[in-house]
Structure 1
Amino acid sequence: MKVTAIIPDDLIAEAMELSKSGTVTDTLKIALITYIRSQKLKELGTMVFNEPLEFKYSSQELRDLNRK
Protein backbone atom coordinates (compact mmCIF):
# COMPACT_ATOMS: atom_id res chain seq x y z
CA MET A 1 0.00 0.00 0.00
CA LYS A 2 1.29 3.41 -0.87
CA VAL A 3 0.89 6.04 1.84
CA THR A 4 1.77 9.70 2.13
CA ALA A 5 2.48 10.87 5.68
CA ILE A 6 4.06 13.92 7.22
CA ILE A 7 6.56 12.66 9.79
CA PRO A 8 9.29 14.81 11.35
CA ASP A 9 12.72 14.14 9.82
CA ASP A 10 14.38 13.74 13.21
CA LEU A 11 11.88 11.06 14.20
CA ILE A 12 12.55 9.10 11.00
CA ALA A 13 16.30 9.53 11.39
CA GLU A 14 16.26 8.24 14.95
CA ALA A 15 14.03 5.31 14.02
CA MET A 16 16.32 4.42 11.11
CA GLU A 17 19.35 4.53 13.37
CA LEU A 18 17.75 2.38 16.06
CA SER A 19 16.34 -0.15 13.61
CA LYS A 20 19.57 -0.22 11.60
CA SER A 21 17.59 -0.24 8.38
CA GLY A 22 18.66 1.50 5.22
CA THR A 23 15.34 2.77 3.95
CA VAL A 24 12.39 4.67 5.35
CA THR A 25 10.06 1.91 4.14
CA ASP A 26 11.96 -0.78 6.04
CA THR A 27 12.10 1.45 9.11
CA LEU A 28 8.34 1.99 9.07
CA LYS A 29 7.71 -1.74 8.57
CA ILE A 30 9.88 -2.55 11.59
CA ALA A 31 8.19 0.15 13.67
CA LEU A 32 4.69 -1.05 12.79
CA ILE A 33 5.50 -4.72 13.39
CA THR A 34 7.08 -3.86 16.74
CA TYR A 35 4.09 -1.73 17.76
CA ILE A 36 1.59 -4.43 16.77
CA ARG A 37 3.53 -7.08 18.70
CA SER A 38 3.71 -4.92 21.81
CA GLN A 39 -0.03 -4.27 21.72
CA LYS A 40 -0.77 -7.98 21.32
CA LEU A 41 1.49 -8.73 24.30
CA LYS A 42 -0.39 -6.13 26.35
CA GLU A 43 -3.70 -7.76 25.40
CA LEU A 44 -2.34 -11.18 26.34
CA GLY A 45 -1.09 -9.85 29.67
CA THR A 46 -4.50 -8.38 30.39
CA MET A 47 -6.19 -11.67 29.50
CA VAL A 48 -3.88 -13.64 31.82
CA PHE A 49 -4.35 -11.08 34.59
CA ASN A 50 -8.14 -11.24 34.29
CA GLU A 51 -8.24 -15.03 33.96
CA PRO A 52 -5.03 -16.56 35.38
CA LEU A 53 -3.61 -19.73 33.90
CA GLU A 54 -4.35 -22.94 35.75
CA PHE A 55 -1.89 -25.78 35.73
CA LYS A 56 -3.02 -29.38 35.71
CA TYR A 57 0.15 -30.79 37.31
CA SER A 58 2.34 -29.76 40.22
CA SER A 59 6.03 -29.13 39.63
CA GLN A 60 6.92 -32.51 41.14
CA GLU A 61 4.38 -34.31 38.93
CA LEU A 62 5.90 -32.62 35.86
CA ARG A 63 9.39 -33.69 36.91
CA ASP A 64 8.17 -37.26 37.35
CA LEU A 65 6.48 -37.21 33.93
CA ASN A 66 9.64 -35.85 32.26
CA ARG A 67 11.77 -38.59 33.78
CA LYS A 68 9.66 -41.38 32.30
Structure 2
Amino acid sequence: MKVTAIISKELIDEAMELSKADTITEALKVALVSYIRSQKIKQIGATIVSEPLEFKYSAQELRDLNRR
Protein backbone atom coordinates (compact mmCIF):
# COMPACT_ATOMS: atom_id res chain seq x y z
CA MET A 1 0.00 0.00 0.00
CA LYS A 2 1.27 3.44 -0.80
CA VAL A 3 0.97 6.07 1.94
CA THR A 4 1.93 9.71 2.15
CA ALA A 5 2.96 10.89 5.61
CA ILE A 6 4.68 13.97 6.96
CA ILE A 7 7.42 12.77 9.33
CA SER A 8 10.41 14.79 10.47
CA LYS A 9 13.75 13.99 8.86
CA GLU A 10 15.33 13.58 12.29
CA LEU A 11 12.79 10.92 13.29
CA ILE A 12 13.26 9.02 10.04
CA ASP A 13 17.06 9.24 10.31
CA GLU A 14 17.00 7.92 13.87
CA ALA A 15 14.63 5.09 12.95
CA MET A 16 16.85 4.10 10.04
CA GLU A 17 19.97 4.19 12.21
CA LEU A 18 18.47 2.16 15.05
CA SER A 19 16.84 -0.39 12.75
CA LYS A 20 19.91 -0.66 10.50
CA ALA A 21 17.49 -0.29 7.59
CA ASP A 22 18.67 0.68 4.12
CA THR A 23 15.42 2.33 3.10
CA ILE A 24 12.75 4.45 4.75
CA THR A 25 10.15 1.81 3.93
CA GLU A 26 12.18 -0.89 5.66
CA ALA A 27 12.74 1.33 8.72
CA LEU A 28 9.02 2.09 8.97
CA LYS A 29 8.15 -1.61 8.68
CA VAL A 30 10.59 -2.45 11.48
CA ALA A 31 9.21 0.36 13.63
CA LEU A 32 5.59 -0.65 13.08
CA VAL A 33 6.24 -4.34 13.77
CA SER A 34 8.11 -3.42 16.95
CA TYR A 35 5.33 -1.09 18.10
CA ILE A 36 2.61 -3.66 17.42
CA ARG A 37 4.53 -6.35 19.32
CA SER A 38 5.06 -4.09 22.33
CA GLN A 39 1.37 -3.19 22.43
CA LYS A 40 0.35 -6.86 22.26
CA ILE A 41 2.72 -7.64 25.14
CA LYS A 42 1.14 -4.83 27.17
CA GLN A 43 -2.33 -6.23 26.43
CA ILE A 44 -1.29 -9.72 27.47
CA GLY A 45 0.23 -8.32 30.66
CA ALA A 46 -2.97 -6.44 31.47
CA THR A 47 -4.99 -9.61 30.87
CA ILE A 48 -2.77 -11.60 33.21
CA VAL A 49 -3.06 -8.91 35.90
CA SER A 50 -6.85 -8.88 35.64
CA GLU A 51 -7.16 -12.67 35.30
CA PRO A 52 -4.14 -14.29 37.04
CA LEU A 53 -2.94 -17.69 35.92
CA GLU A 54 -4.02 -20.59 38.10
CA PHE A 55 -1.83 -23.64 38.40
CA LYS A 56 -3.38 -27.05 38.82
CA TYR A 57 -0.29 -28.70 40.35
CA SER A 58 2.28 -27.61 42.90
CA ALA A 59 5.97 -27.52 41.98
CA GLN A 60 6.59 -30.78 43.81
CA GLU A 61 3.66 -32.49 42.07
CA LEU A 62 5.04 -31.41 38.69
CA ARG A 63 8.49 -32.74 39.55
CA ASP A 64 6.95 -36.05 40.57
CA LEU A 65 4.94 -36.24 37.34
CA ASN A 66 8.04 -35.47 35.24
CA ARG A 67 10.04 -38.22 36.92
CA ARG A 68 7.57 -40.94 35.98
Cα deviation 1:11-62 (Å, max 9, x = unaligned): 0000111011111101000100111111111111110000100001111111
| C-alpha deviation, 1:66, in angstroms | 1.4
Distance of 2:59 and 2:48 partners within structure 1 = 20
Distance of 1:55 and 1:32 partners within structure 2 = 35
Distance of 1:15 and 1:66 partners within structure 2 = 47
Alignment of 1:63 onto 2:63: yes
Normalised by the size of structure 1, how large is the TM-score? 0.95
Tell me which residue corresponds to 2:27: 27
Runs (4+) off by over 3 Å: none
How much is the aligned-residue C-alpha RMSD, in angstroms?
A: 0.7
- Across the two proteins, how many residue pairs are aligned to each other? 68
Give the AA of the match of 2:33.
I
Identity fraction in percent: 68
List gaps (5 residues or longer) in structure 1. Answer: none
Tell me which residue corresponds to 1:8: 8
List gaps (5 residues or longer) in structure 2. Answer: none
Normalised by the size of structure 2, how large is the TM-score? 0.95
